[in-house]
Structure 1
Amino acid sequence: MSLEDAGFILDLYNRPKFIQFIGNRNLKTVADAENYIQNRFLPQFDRLGYGNYLMITKEGNHKIGGVGIFEREGLDVLDIGFSLLDEFERKGYAYEAASKIKSVGMNDFGLKKISAITTKDNFASQKLIEKLGLQFRKYVTIPDDPEELMYYETE
């Protein structure tokens, strides 16, 4: 993700499913999205060499979502995450992208474990996380979010 993706992030992060399952990031303008990218995504890339990537279609190069490996406050193991525009769900894009990111994290960056978190009612994400080979371990809460989340981890 780069600053030029701010308009897309503004759209994606304000979708009802994103807010319901991932959370409200309170992005109201393109400038808010640029600041979010500048302050949340880019520093992790500078520090670790990886982070949040733009998901695009092979045909037409349409921006359809985001996928990445993230440092999350309250989690000891780096977290794989993904989000997709509603109209591109259930087509295999998220699995293909998340599978690739997991492979890059483990093979290219030497990560020994990857985790994932999701809400108890996000059955599509639970299914995808399990398809990626992560297994449910426990329920967790993360700072500034009272909701109990499902925590998954690789072997």
Structure 2
Amino acid sequence: MSTYKTFTTERLILKPTSEADDEFVFELFNTQKWIQNIGDRNIKSVAMAKEYILNKMQPQLERLGYSNYTIIRKTDQVKIGACGLYDREGLEGIDIGFAFLPEYEGKGYAFEAAHKLVKVAFNEFGIKGISAITSKNNISSQKLLEKLGLELIGTTKLPNDNQELLHYKIEN
């Protein structure tokens, strides 16, 4: 794990998610907003969260050098959210995504973390374009994507899902 880079911002640490984050991932994936806006991943135990990290997050990290990052607040070392760059099936380019525990929303953490990842994606990982998808009713996510400089380019549907999603993009 230590071969993968951790990034910092003024208030945050962005650390590649590892199996040590299993309790946090279990909590985050079962928040109402995660299930409503991202989808139920059917993670019903900490053990299932650990399995998800090992089977879904780690392989992409090993293959591409980036994946999901656990967001840690510097002041108290509390895990507050996740932000990542994902090679998502059915979506051209790399997808940026973010989610925070409810008590840490609306404090600018998502912008701070996602803004750092966009810069790192372009400057360190050599990614040429970043996409993002969000549901039509997730207004806070749409505003954040626009603040990050992504532009709405249309709608899309992911494989095996008939929900029409808003599709954003930014080019380096």
| TM-score bracket relative to the smaller structure | over 0.9
- Deviation per residue, 1:22-66 (Å, 9 max, x gap): 000000011100110001100001000001000011210110000
Distance 1:124 1:11 in 2: 21
Specify which of 142, 154, 163 is matched with residue 138 of structure 1.
154
Shift of 1:146: 1.4
2:74 aligned residue = 58
SS across alignment from 1:146: coil
2:18 aligned residue = 2
Which TM-score applies when normalising by structure 2?
Answer: 0.89
- Deviation per residue, 1:117-142 (Å, 9 max, x gap): 00000000000000000000010000
1:111 aligned residue = 127
Specify which of 106, 117, 128 is matched with residue 144 of structure 2.
128
Specify which of 95, 111, 116 is matched with residue 111 of structure 2.
95
Stretch moving more, 138-147 or 17-26: 138-147
Shift of 1:84: 0.3
Over 3 Å off, 4+ runs: none
Shift of 1:143: 1.0
- Deviation per residue, 1:43-98 (Å, 9 max, x gap): 00100000100001121011000001001110111000000000000000000000
Aligned length: 155
Is 1:73 aligned to 2:95, yes or no?
Answer: no
SS across alignment from 2:43: coil
Distance 2:29 2:38 in 1: 9
For structure 1, the residue ranges without an aligned partner over 5 or more in a row are none
Specify which of 150, 156, 166 is matched with residue 150 of structure 1.
166
Q: CA RMSD in A?
A: 0.6
1:45 aligned residue = 61
2:8 aligned residue = none
Identity %: 51
For structure 2, the residue ranges without an aligned partner over 5 or more in a row are 1-16
Shift of 1:144: 2.0
Distance 1:62 1:30 in 2: 18
Shift of 1:145: 1.6
Distance 1:43 1:58 in 2: 27
Distance 2:89 2:43 in 1: 20
Amino acid in the other structure paired with 2:102: D
Specify which of 93, 96, 100 is matched with residue 84 of structure 1.
100
1:19 aligned residue = 35
